[in-house]
Amino acid sequence: MNLSATSRTVLRVCLAAGFVFLYVPLALVLLNSFNADRAFGWPPSGLTAKWWATAADNAGAREAVLTSLKAGLGATAIALVLGTMIAFAVQRYSFFGRDAVSLLVVLPIALPGIVTGIALSNAFHLVLQPLGIGLGLFTVIVGHATFCVVTVYNNVLARLRRQGTLVEEASADLGADTFQTFRHVTFPLLRPALLAGGLLAFALSFDEIIVTTFTAGPGVTTLPIWIFNNLFRPNQAPVINVVAAVLVVLSIVPVHLAQRLSGEKTPKGH
Amino acid sequence: MLRRRAAALLHRRPGLRLGLLLSAPMVWLVVAYLGALAALFLSAFWSTDVFTGDLVHEFTLRNFEDVFTDPVYLTIALRSVGVAVLVTVLCLVIGFPMAFAMAKVVAPRWRPVLLIGVLMPLWAAYLVKAYAWRVMLAQGGVVDWALSPLGLEGPGYGLTATVIVLTYLWLPYMILPIYTGLERLPESLLDASGDLGAKAWTTFRRVVLPMTFPSVVAGTLFTFSLSLGDYITVKIVGGKSQLIGNVVYDNIGAANNLPFAAAVATLPVVVMLGYILAVRRTGALEEM
């Protein structure tokens, strides 16, 4: 495309400005975690590391991180199994209602979170409570898994499309049965896609607040819920800021991992 | 032995294989998820007892009448759709040039770095980002401070702040699918268009846009849906303004009126389903 030098420059400026927009708030979170002023007045009156010490002592935050990890791992495990099964069914078979199935996978993430949240919460009350199962970590995992399936599904589907069925046919010709082929041929080939999809699913779950609000029992506080509960308490502001800063810094890890593990140039899904 | 026989059976019967593959996911998605949605919309036709707060299982259209005749709810519904459209347009206006510059203007070796640059804010928590804006938009905060040399003031908390923050939050969801779509677009096709005499703008309009349309639509599905259901950002930076998510939330929580909340929630669902069905044929759903 023969773009003029001017339009190239304009596009480069747009890109740079966009990145400034994306990163200024994150940089400020980091800077504010050292801001000596309790209310984060601007410009900072001085710098201090004491908020980091305060935050490290906060048992509530630590507890919440643990709950979030459990919920994320549970939801990711379910999403990996279900997402892979649907991807195989949709990619390898043609059947009546296949389009409806692929639409159904997207639906939980395409509908606003609050709708998914109250629908699940209502269903849990109707079905689980008579059985003696109250809202708790289990219901959070079920809720999260529902909208995490799509990330695994998209990754595995893209992978299956690219790799075709030739290697599996070769494996069968060499005498391997269905299970052996899956274990020794198909699964290793899928592994990068499963890791990428699983990582995205975990991230979605770790960050989710709306569905969590409606499906968590009284004792279950994930990190986003904990942050939200403390957000409007002036005393807690410095601690929140440190937790936020940690999350900003830690966000480099999964991005780096996903980039290396997936071996794909562009991420699919969410 | 048993395993061998199971394998042989599965090998001979593709229908059985398909059935097994679909069983668990369909139980989950159809029974649990669609079942839950159906139960929710059924309850929109019920009501709650004014005194006890218990559900009254009798068919009534009262909830929908209230939603569609009360000007307060109509205003909130229109405002929510307006905010979602505005956020989507802003994400598109900011995101498309960024994606285009990343995929077609900068040197290819920079692309992975820039891609990580777009992804990273996506992984920093939603609340962290909304909170960052709350601090920035506070009175005497960074925004006020940065605008003061120009003799201007920041928007403070309110609807404008909500639109800014939602645009900020969902921007990567717009950039990523568009970038993926543009990256797949062969350079040779654009050169061919140029060789045939098309100016840059013509190539953009007649080649780039039609071929990346599904990706653009996928991006708008994210930004639109995520904005339409949001009530947290509104609570954090929205000041007194309310969106449809807040009405649903308040009726579930404080008012304990599930039927009314369900009736209100049908609105975003109908809007989203309409949008999804309208764009299904473009292939946008596979770009998500």
How far apart CA A267 and CA A254 sit, in angstroms, is 12
Q: Are residues B21 and B78 located together in one domain of the fold? A: no
Chain A residues whose CB is inside 8 A of the B228 CB are 112
**pLDDT by residue (tens digit) across A131-164?**
877 788 999 999 999 999 998 998 899 889 888 7
Q: Are residues B40 and B129 located together in one domain of the fold? A: no
Q: Which of B98, B132, B262 sits opposite A15 (nearest CB)?
A: B98
Q: Does residue B66 lie within any of the structural domains?
A: no
Label residue A267 by pLDDT band (50, 70, 90). Answer: very low
Q: What share of chain A is helix, strand, coil (3-state, %, to 5)?
A: 75, 0, 20
**Residue B45 contacts A, CB cutoff 8 Å:** no
Least Cα separation, residue B120 to chain A (angstroms): 6
> Tell me, what CATH number does B75's domain have?
1.10.3720.10
Least Cα separation, residue A226 to chain B (angstroms): 10
Of B288, B33, B215, nearest to A106 by C-alpha is B288
List the single residue in A with minimal CA-CA distance to B143.
A42
Cβ–Cβ gap B268/A203 under 8 Å? no
**pLDDT by residue (tens digit) across A25-44?**
988 888 888 877 766 666 77
**Residue A49 contacts B, CB cutoff 8 Å:** no
Q: Are residues B194 and B88 located together in one domain of the fold? A: yes
Chain A 225-264, residues with CB within 8 Å of chain B CB atoms: 227-228, 231, 240-241, 244, 247-248, 251-252, 254-256, 258-259
- pTM for the model stands at 0.87
Q: What is the pLDDT of residue A263?
A: 53
- What lies within 8 Å, CB to CB, of A102 at 6+ separation is A86, A90, B285, B286
Range of the domain at B277: 71-281
List the single residue in B with minimal CA-CA distance to A82.
B25
Q: Are residues B87 and B218 located together in one domain of the fold? A: yes
Chain B residues whose CB is inside 8 A of the A86 CB are 21-22, 25
Of A246, A244, A204, nearest to A228 by C-alpha is A244
Q: What angle do CA A29, A33, A37 make, to 5 degrees?
A: 110
Cβ–Cβ gap A266/B179 under 8 Å? yes
**pLDDT by residue (tens digit) across B31-87?**
889 999 999 988 888 877 777 767 777 788 888 888 888 888 889 999 999 999 999
Cβ–Cβ gap A244/B191 under 8 Å? no
The answer to whether residues B15 and B8 touch, using CB atoms and an 8 Å cutoff, is no
Q: What is the pLDDT of residue A265?
A: 45
**Residue B219 contacts A, CB cutoff 8 Å:** no
Helix (H) or strand (E) holding B48: strand B47-48
Q: Are residues B217 and B86 located together in one domain of the fold? A: yes
Q: Are residues B235 and B195 located together in one domain of the fold? A: yes
Chain B residues whose CB is inside 8 A of the A203 CB are 123
How far apart CA A116 and CA A215 sit, in angstroms, is 10
**Residue B181 contacts A, CB cutoff 8 Å:** no
Least Cα separation, residue B159 to chain A (angstroms): 19
How far apart CA A119 and CA A143 sit, in angstroms, is 10
Cβ–Cβ gap A15/B106 under 8 Å? yes
Domain count for chain B: 2
Chain B residues whose CB is inside 8 A of the A89 CB are 18, 21-22, 25
Q: Are residues B138 and B253 located together in one domain of the fold? A: yes
pLDDT in tens, chain B (288 residues): 777 788 888 878 888 888 888 888 888 898 889 999 999 988 888 877 777 767 777 788 888 888 888 888 889 999 999 999 999 999 999 999 999 999 999 998 888 889 888 888 877 788 888 988 998 898 888 888 888 888 888 888 999 999 999 999 999 989 988 998 898 888 888 888 888 888 888 888 888 888 899 999 989 998 999 899 899 999 999 988 889 999 988 888 777 788 888 999 988 999 998 998 888 877 777 776
Q: Are residues B261 and B153 located together in one domain of the fold? A: yes
What mean pLDDT do residues A85-110 have? 89
Label residue A268 by pLDDT band (50, 70, 90). Answer: very low
Question: Among B16, B21, B157, B208, which would you mutate to test the A interface (most chain A Cβ atoms within 10 Å of its Cβ)?
Answer: B21
Q: What is the pLDDT of residue A39?
A: 66
Domains of chain A (ranges, CATH numbers) = 58-262 (1.10.3720.10)
Chain A residues whose CB is inside 8 A of the B29 CB are 82, 104-105, 108, 146, 149
Q: How far is CA B59 from CA A139, A266, B2, in A?
A: 29, 50, 54
Q: Are residues B33 and B162 located together in one domain of the fold? A: no
pLDDT over threshold 90, residue A166: no
Q: Does residue B27 lie within any of the structural domains?
A: yes
How far apart CA B237 and CA B146 sit, in angstroms, is 18
Q: Are residues B126 and B174 located together in one domain of the fold? A: yes
Six token digits for residue B265: 């929630």
List the single residue in B with minimal CA-CA distance to A263.
B112
Q: Measured in whole angstroms, how far is the alpha carbon of residue B248 from the centre of its chain? A: 17
List the single residue in B with minimal CA-CA distance to A256.
B116
